[in-house]
Structure formats: structure tokens, C-alpha cells
Amino acid sequence: MNKVSINIALERYDRHMPFFMGTVALPENLELIPLEVSVGLMPGRRDGMDRHGRMFRDQAFDICEQSLSSYIMAKYRDMPFSAAPVFPRRLFSQNQIFVNVDADIQSPSDLIGKNVGVWSFQNTLCVLMKGDLRHEYGVPWSKIHWHCQNEELIPWNPRKELSIERISGDKSLGQMLLDGDLDAILHPEPPPEILMRTDRVHRLFPDARSISEEYFKKNGFFPIMHILSFRQDVVNREPWLPSKMIDIWDDAKLQANEYYDDPGFLQLAFGRTEFEHQRETMGPDLFPSGLSANRQYLERFIDDMVDQELIDRPIDVEMLFHESTWET
């Protein structure tokens, strides 16, 4: 039997370790080559960085873990990509907002009129935060001054009335927050400057864990950051692949979950206790695959992208995915 050789660009998460270790279950006709590629927030991985940009600009990978928001913008513009309803990265926005102690920001409404730094305006976490401000706290995102560290992955021209600026200079968002150049930042990873100088910076929500658990209890989802995308020519050639990748990724996730059954797996003294608490409060699977389990969140996210003027009109959730996955 001739094997199909496919490469897949992923970040180094626990649920992706079975890919890199070669223990994930594959069909006999598939050779899957895992590439360890970061997005640029973290140091470059074994196979480089700029994963999102290399896929959108150069179609450099067969399969790629990509930004959900930029992927939706790409599909809206009929760019040649497809996807499976597999979502490797998720975050709560409430846990990622950091404020300068001198900015007098005690609640989400205090962000109005403030200077807030973000990775980019269309960054998935930024879209989520703006949506959460609207849905959960009644705060209009358009009344905040947004400062973007990077160019947008998908070119986009905002209305002149919106306060969106590209940051100039070499300062990181974390350093700008410490120096008072920014009042707050939203960041997928706590910047090193913040981890070293917590006296000058704190989270907007000091008890972000309880706030996030209440958010999950109210809304029923752990917000999606990334999606598993494919070059269109790959799925045209191998139309069975998107649906099969759901099974493959779920097998890797199951293997990762089994790691935590060993109390000695983590360096964290209470890691196993935390894992048990999460299962009790949020259920056994925070990373469900398939369309039906994620439709509610995806519809809300698309609505937020329309509200934030990143796309002109809603698109059907099915249009994001390969047709072989629509019944999942």
C-alpha cells in the first residue's frame, strides 16, 4: 500500500506530544510528519517560528494549527484553505488581562478611554476579549484605545473613527506596561517583564480562576483560540483526511490525559489535585472536537467578528470546515 506523506505544524502542547513522540494512532496509508513551529510569542521551536504567517502567506504546511480569527477572515475572502473541527488551543480572556497599578483600572468598565496593548487587533484572543467586554460586562470595545504590536495576519483597513495604532519602536508590550506607556495589555503568555516585576503590574481579575470558572458555568464553553487547517489542494487530493484527523487528534488528546493519571508526571506539587478539581468543576473534556460540540461558541465568535468589523456579514459555521466533517 502506498503511503500518503503529510506534514503538520503544531505548537509543543501536552496534547501534541504523542505526535512528536510517534505514539499517535495512524491509518496504515498515512505518514504524518510533525513539525514543531511556534507563532512568535514564544522562542522559536525545533522547526522555526511564525507558524500562522508561513501558512497564510506561503502555504508552507499541509496541515497547520492556526489562529481562528485570521482563518475565518481568510475563508471569508475565499483563500484556499479548509479545516477540521479540531481546536488545539483555548484560553479564557479573563486570565490574560494585565494592568499597570497606576492606571486606576479596577474593573472592565475602567478600560474605557485607556491605552490597551495587544498582539494585533484581529488576534483571536483580542477578538475574544472585545466580545467578552460586550457580552459579559457591557463595555463597548470601540471606546478603548488599541495599540497593536504586530501587523495583521490578514490585511485589514479599520474605519478612521476607531482608535487603533501600530506600536513603533522595539519595546515589548510587557515593558511598555511596566513603563506606563500602556495602561493594560492582553497577552496570550505572561510577558517575562511582568513575571519579574509583579509589584508594578497585576491581573485585572485578581481571582481570574473563579471568574473563568463562573464564565464557563454560565456559557458552557472554554473559548477556542486555534483551529486545525489544511491547504485546499491537500484536501482536494485527500478528501478523507479532515475527518480522519479528528480521530487522530482525539487519540493524542486521550494519551495526554492519561499522563495526568500519574501523580508524578508534573513538577507541580499539587498538579494532580488541580487536574482533579478541573474535572470536577468543568467536566472531563475541555477540548471537544466536532462541529456540534463547538457550534454555539463559533456562532458567537463569528457574530463578534462582524461586530468588530473584521468581516462584513456572518458566515455559516459549516463553511469553515471540510464537508466530510459537517456531521461530527
CB-based contacts of 99: which residues, under 8 Å, 6+ apart? 105, 177, 183, 184, 201, 202, 203, 204
Alpha-carbon gap, residue 67 to 87, rounded angstroms? 10
Phi first, then psi, for residue 263 (nearest 5°) are: -60, -20
Last residue of a domain, one of 192, 219, 246: 219
Q: Is the pTM of this model over 0.75?
A: yes
Residues 74 and 41 in one domain: yes
Alpha-carbon gap, residue 99 to 304, rounded angstroms? 24
CB-based contacts of 189: which residues, under 8 Å, 6+ apart? 41, 42
Residues 133 and 173 in one domain: yes
Domain that holds residue 142: 93-219
Residues 97 and 193 in one domain: yes
Cell of 229: 487547517
Cell of 72: 475565518
Cell of 183: 495602561
Our count of domains for the chain comes to 2
CB-based contacts of 87: which residues, under 8 Å, 6+ apart? 68, 224, 225, 226, 227, 228, 287, 289, 294
CA angle 60, 61, 65 (to 5 degrees): 120
Measured between its terminal Cα atoms, the distance across the chain in Å is 28
Residues 197 and 276 in one domain: no
Residues 215 and 101 in one domain: yes
- Sequential pLDDT tens for the chain (328 residues): 689 999 999 999 999 999 999 999 999 999 999 999 988 756 667 888 899 999 999 999 999 999 999 999 999 999 999 999 999 999 999 999 999 999 999 999 999 999 999 999 999 999 999 999 999 999 999 999 999 999 999 998 898 899 999 998 888 899 999 999 999 999 888 777 777 767 889 999 999 999 999 999 999 999 999 999 999 999 999 999 999 999 999 999 999 999 988 888 889 888 888 989 999 999 999 999 999 999 999 999 999 999 999 999 999 999 999 999 999 9
Cell of 190: 505572561
Alpha-carbon gap, residue 113 to 144, rounded angstroms? 5
Please state whether beta strands 97-100 and 81-84 pair in parallel, antiparallel, or not at all (unpaired).
unpaired
Amino acid sitting at position 275: F
CATH number at 215 reads 3.40.190.10
Beta bridge pairs of residue 100? 201
Residues 197 and 119 in one domain: yes
Alpha-carbon gap, residue 84 to 77, rounded angstroms? 18
- Under DSSP, is residue 228 helix (H, G, I), strand (E, B) or coil? strand
CB-based contacts of 305: which residues, under 8 Å, 6+ apart? 69, 72, 73, 127, 311
Residues 212 and 235 in one domain: no
Residues 70 and 162 in one domain: no
Residues 154 and 47 in one domain: no
Residues 85 and 232 in one domain: yes
Last residue of a domain, one of 198, 219, 240: 219
Tell me the CB-side half-sphere exposure of residue 1, using CA atoms within 13 A: 8
Residues 243 and 201 in one domain: no
Please state whether beta strands 201-203 and 97-100 pair in parallel, antiparallel, or not at all (unpaired).
antiparallel
Q: What share of the chain is helix, strand, coil (3-state, %, to 5)?
A: 40, 15, 45
Last residue of a domain, one of 169, 202, 219: 219
Residues 160 and 215 in one domain: yes
CATH number at 66 reads 3.40.190
